[in-house]
Amino acid sequence: MSKTFTTYLESPVGTLELKTSEDAVLAVIFVENTENSDTELPEIAKALVKQLKGYFDGSLLKFDLKLDPQGTDFQKRVWKKLTNIDFGKKASYQDMANKLGDPKVIRAAASANGKNPISIIIPCHRVIGKDGSLTGYAGGLHRKKWLLEHENRIANGVLELF
Protein backbone atom coordinates (compact mmCIF):
# COMPACT_ATOMS: atom_id res chain seq x y z
CA MET A 1 0.00 0.00 0.00
CA SER A 2 1.31 3.45 -0.86
CA LYS A 3 1.95 6.19 1.66
CA THR A 4 -0.90 8.52 2.54
CA PHE A 5 -0.31 12.23 3.11
CA THR A 6 -2.59 14.44 5.21
CA THR A 7 -2.95 18.19 5.41
CA TYR A 8 -5.73 20.61 6.36
CA LEU A 9 -7.31 23.62 4.71
CA GLU A 10 -9.39 26.28 6.41
CA SER A 11 -12.29 27.08 4.10
CA PRO A 12 -15.18 29.55 4.34
CA VAL A 13 -17.37 26.65 5.52
CA GLY A 14 -15.00 24.91 7.90
CA THR A 15 -11.87 22.84 8.08
CA LEU A 16 -11.17 20.31 5.35
CA GLU A 17 -8.97 17.27 5.89
CA LEU A 18 -7.14 16.49 2.66
CA LYS A 19 -5.66 13.03 2.05
CA THR A 20 -3.60 12.08 -0.97
CA SER A 21 -1.31 9.32 -2.13
CA GLU A 22 1.87 10.17 -4.04
CA ASP A 23 -0.19 10.89 -7.16
CA ALA A 24 -3.94 11.02 -6.43
CA VAL A 25 -6.54 12.62 -4.19
CA LEU A 26 -8.01 10.08 -1.76
CA ALA A 27 -10.27 12.20 0.47
CA VAL A 28 -11.57 15.70 1.12
CA ILE A 29 -13.64 15.61 4.30
CA PHE A 30 -15.07 18.27 6.60
CA VAL A 31 -13.69 17.85 10.13
CA GLU A 32 -14.10 19.59 13.46
CA ASN A 33 -10.61 18.83 14.77
CA THR A 34 -7.22 18.65 13.13
CA GLU A 35 -4.22 16.48 13.84
CA ASN A 36 -0.66 16.92 12.66
CA SER A 37 -0.19 17.67 8.98
CA ASP A 38 2.56 16.00 7.02
CA THR A 39 5.43 18.41 6.51
CA GLU A 40 6.53 16.99 3.16
CA LEU A 41 3.66 16.88 0.68
CA PRO A 42 3.62 15.48 -2.85
CA GLU A 43 2.77 17.72 -5.80
CA ILE A 44 -0.80 16.35 -5.94
CA ALA A 45 -1.43 17.61 -2.38
CA LYS A 46 -0.08 21.05 -3.26
CA ALA A 47 -2.24 21.13 -6.39
CA LEU A 48 -5.27 20.06 -4.35
CA VAL A 49 -4.79 22.92 -1.88
CA LYS A 50 -4.28 25.42 -4.71
CA GLN A 51 -7.35 24.26 -6.64
CA LEU A 52 -9.59 24.24 -3.55
CA LYS A 53 -8.48 27.80 -2.73
CA GLY A 54 -9.34 28.75 -6.32
CA TYR A 55 -12.75 27.11 -5.96
CA PHE A 56 -13.49 29.05 -2.78
CA ASP A 57 -12.29 32.39 -4.17
CA GLY A 58 -14.37 31.84 -7.32
CA SER A 59 -11.49 31.67 -9.80
CA LEU A 60 -11.75 27.89 -10.42
CA LEU A 61 -14.88 26.30 -11.86
CA LYS A 62 -13.54 22.85 -12.77
CA PHE A 63 -11.05 20.71 -10.89
CA ASP A 64 -8.24 18.99 -12.74
CA LEU A 65 -6.87 16.40 -10.33
CA LYS A 66 -6.32 12.65 -10.41
CA LEU A 67 -8.87 11.10 -8.05
CA ASP A 68 -8.73 7.69 -6.39
CA PRO A 69 -11.78 7.34 -4.14
CA GLN A 70 -12.01 4.02 -2.34
CA GLY A 71 -15.38 2.24 -2.52
CA THR A 72 -17.40 -0.46 -4.20
CA ASP A 73 -17.75 -0.63 -7.98
CA PHE A 74 -21.30 0.75 -7.72
CA GLN A 75 -20.18 3.65 -5.49
CA LYS A 76 -17.42 4.48 -7.96
CA ARG A 77 -19.97 4.50 -10.82
CA VAL A 78 -22.13 6.95 -8.84
CA TRP A 79 -19.16 9.16 -7.97
CA LYS A 80 -18.08 9.20 -11.62
CA LYS A 81 -21.58 10.35 -12.63
CA LEU A 82 -21.44 13.10 -9.99
CA THR A 83 -18.38 14.59 -11.68
CA ASN A 84 -20.57 15.23 -14.75
CA ILE A 85 -22.78 17.72 -12.87
CA ASP A 86 -21.40 21.08 -13.93
CA PHE A 87 -20.44 23.91 -11.59
CA GLY A 88 -23.53 25.91 -10.67
CA LYS A 89 -25.93 23.14 -11.74
CA LYS A 90 -27.95 20.64 -9.71
CA ALA A 91 -29.42 17.19 -10.23
CA SER A 92 -31.94 15.18 -8.25
CA TYR A 93 -31.35 11.76 -6.75
CA GLN A 94 -33.86 10.47 -9.29
CA ASP A 95 -31.80 12.04 -12.09
CA MET A 96 -28.77 10.19 -10.75
CA ALA A 97 -30.60 6.86 -10.70
CA ASN A 98 -31.83 7.44 -14.26
CA LYS A 99 -28.29 8.28 -15.46
CA LEU A 100 -27.12 5.01 -13.89
CA GLY A 101 -29.63 3.25 -16.15
CA ASP A 102 -32.15 2.10 -13.55
CA PRO A 103 -34.69 4.44 -11.89
CA LYS A 104 -35.14 1.86 -9.11
CA VAL A 105 -31.58 2.33 -7.76
CA ILE A 106 -32.46 5.73 -6.30
CA ARG A 107 -31.85 4.64 -2.68
CA ALA A 108 -28.59 2.91 -3.52
CA ALA A 109 -27.45 5.97 -5.51
CA ALA A 110 -28.38 8.25 -2.60
CA SER A 111 -26.46 6.00 -0.21
CA ALA A 112 -23.38 6.01 -2.45
CA ASN A 113 -23.69 9.79 -2.77
CA GLY A 114 -23.58 10.06 1.03
CA LYS A 115 -20.43 7.93 1.21
CA ASN A 116 -18.46 10.09 -1.23
CA PRO A 117 -14.98 10.49 0.29
CA ILE A 118 -13.95 13.43 -1.91
CA SER A 119 -16.29 16.29 -1.03
CA ILE A 120 -16.58 19.33 -3.30
CA ILE A 121 -14.38 17.85 -6.07
CA ILE A 122 -16.79 14.95 -6.54
CA PRO A 123 -19.75 17.31 -6.19
CA CYS A 124 -22.26 15.33 -4.15
CA HIS A 125 -23.51 18.67 -2.77
CA ARG A 126 -25.08 19.31 -6.21
CA VAL A 127 -27.62 16.52 -5.71
CA ILE A 128 -30.93 17.66 -4.26
CA GLY A 129 -34.41 16.27 -3.71
CA LYS A 130 -36.72 15.88 -6.72
CA ASP A 131 -38.83 18.73 -5.32
CA GLY A 132 -35.77 21.00 -5.16
CA SER A 133 -35.28 20.62 -1.42
CA LEU A 134 -31.92 20.27 0.24
CA THR A 135 -31.52 16.77 1.53
CA GLY A 136 -28.75 14.99 3.41
CA TYR A 137 -25.12 16.01 3.15
CA ALA A 138 -22.36 14.36 5.17
CA GLY A 139 -20.75 17.78 5.70
CA GLY A 140 -24.00 19.23 7.07
CA LEU A 141 -26.89 20.93 5.30
CA HIS A 142 -25.54 24.39 6.19
CA ARG A 143 -22.42 23.60 4.18
CA LYS A 144 -24.40 22.16 1.28
CA LYS A 145 -26.49 25.33 1.17
CA TRP A 146 -23.36 27.52 1.24
CA LEU A 147 -21.66 25.52 -1.55
CA LEU A 148 -24.73 25.67 -3.80
CA GLU A 149 -25.21 29.39 -3.18
CA HIS A 150 -21.49 30.03 -3.78
CA GLU A 151 -21.58 28.21 -7.12
CA ASN A 152 -24.88 29.79 -8.16
CA ARG A 153 -23.58 33.26 -7.35
CA ILE A 154 -20.44 32.73 -9.46
CA ALA A 155 -22.04 30.79 -12.33
CA ASN A 156 -25.18 32.86 -12.66
CA GLY A 157 -24.44 36.08 -10.84
CA VAL A 158 -27.44 35.58 -8.57
CA LEU A 159 -28.12 34.39 -5.07
CA GLU A 160 -30.67 31.61 -4.71
CA LEU A 161 -32.19 31.18 -1.28
CA PHE A 162 -33.42 27.80 -0.11
pLDDT digits (tens, 9 = 90+) for 58-72: 999 999 999 999 999
- Digit-coded pLDDT (tens) for 118-159: 999 999 999 998 888 888 788 889 999 999 999 998 988 765
87 and 137 inside one domain = yes
Angle at 110 between CA 58 and CA 97, to 5 degrees: 95
Residues 82 and 35 in one domain: no
Can you give the CATH number for the domain in which 92 is found?
Answer: 1.10.10.10
From the candidates 124, 127, 147, 148, give the one annotated as an active-site residue.
Answer: 124
pLDDT the model gives residue 132: 85
The CA distance from 16 to 140, in Å, is 13
Residues 7, 38: Cα–Cα separation, whole Å: 6
How many structural domains are present in the chain?
2
Looking at the fold, whether 41 and 113 belong to one and the same domain comes out as no
Task: State the amino acid at position 1 in one-letter form.
Answer: M
Does any domain span residue 63?
A: no
Q: What is the DSSP letter of 36?
A: P
pTM (two decimals):
0.91
**Pair (140, 79) in one structural domain:** yes
Give the C-alpha separation, 101 to 119, whole Å.
24
Is 124 labeled as catalytic in the residue annotation? Answer: yes
131 and 77 assigned to the same domain: yes
Are both 52 and 93 inside the same structural domain? no
Per the structure, the complete domain to which residue 137 belongs is given by: 73-156
Answer whether residue 64 is part of any domain. Answer: no
pLDDT band at 1 (very low <50, low <70, confident <90, very high): low
In a domain, 62, yes or no: no
CA 148 to chain centre: 12
